[in-house]
Amino acid sequence: MDIRIYGDESRLNGDAADIVGEALRGGPASAIGLCTGMTPVGLYRELVRRRAKGEISFADATVCNLDEYIGLTPDDPNGFRAFMRKRLLDEVDLPPERFFIPDGSAPDPEDECRRFDAVLDGIGRRRLQVVGIGGNGHVGFNEPDDSLPYGTRVVRLSDRTVQTNAAYFDPPDRIPRRAITMGIGSILDADRLLLIALGKEKAEAVAGALAGPITARLPGSLLRLHPRLTVLLDREAASLLPERLKADAGLARAIRPRIEDGFDETSRQ
């Protein structure tokens, strides 16, 4: 696990964009997984900026997203498809037919889960999956539970998640109580995971996920099962981490310049 802690959010977003850029350059038909929420907005802004300057391209990429509310039409401005279009996809050169997200308006959500699993199988190896974390530790919409199945599934959102996310809904009381989410197993299938967390509201979930027991009761902790997990945190989100992990983060920062000199990043994980 590579944990990096930042005082400056623009540096964090720059490093996150470097990681996405590396995945995009991974070869033809590079598939990457992205997520929604306020956390990746700065990253997406940076990707749009780099695309405009010709530094990166999505022309050969495939992008899939984690989740969608059930009951929203694909063009509903509150939906995650609309979010991705507005924050990223309308501004970059990804062919629209190579963007995949569960369809919350499908007549049978269970069928839609199987269709999305087939999409994930079809797009093949995902070089990177970017995720955020909810205040209760959820990833995608995998809410804390006794066990978490591998594949895409229908979930009932917790009261806390509904309350938090209602702030971004117009009108807030229209927020659906159910969603379709990629399963934790499929998230872990990506070659590399990038977890980003910002703000003190995430500090408890981040500390539990990175330093507590690995348990479906805190889905973020399951990310530690991945051999190649990079975690980018601002100081507030990192504030409850035990000192030993903060020390590791300091070490990672100290050796990072060597990566730019051609140091093979995979060899230190």
* Binding interface with ligand GLP (CB under 6 A): 35-39, 66-67, 132-134, 140-141, 161, 165
Residue 60 or 169 with smaller CB distance to ligand GLP: 169
Catalytic member of 138, 142, 165, 226: 138
* 91 classed as catalytic: no
Smallest separation, CB 257 to ligand GLP (Å) = 29
* 143 classed as catalytic: yes
User: Residue 231 and residue 249: Cα distance in Å, rounded?
Assistant: 9
By 3-state DSSP, what share of the chain in percent is helix, strand and coil, each rounded to 5?
A: 40, 15, 40
* 138 classed as catalytic: yes
Smallest separation, CB 172 to ligand GLP (Å) = 14
Smallest separation, CB 236 to ligand GLP (Å) = 12
Residue 132 or 183 with smaller CB distance to ligand GLP: 132
User: Residue 231 and residue 244: Cα distance in Å, rounded?
Assistant: 15
With contact defined as beta carbons under 8 Å apart, do 182 and 152 qualify? yes
Nearest to 119 by CA among 59, 186, 70, 179: 186
Catalytic member of 67, 68, 103, 234: 67
Residue 9 or 93 with smaller CB distance to ligand GLP: 9
* 136 classed as catalytic: yes
Catalytic member of 136, 142, 226, 234: 136
Sign of the CA dihedral with 111 first, then 112, 115, and 117 last: negative
With contact defined as beta carbons under 8 Å apart, do 133 and 233 qualify? no
The radius of gyration of the chain from alpha carbons, rounded to an integer in Å, stands at 18
Residue 37 or 176 with smaller CB distance to ligand GLP: 37
Residue numbers annotated as active site: 67, 136, 138, 143
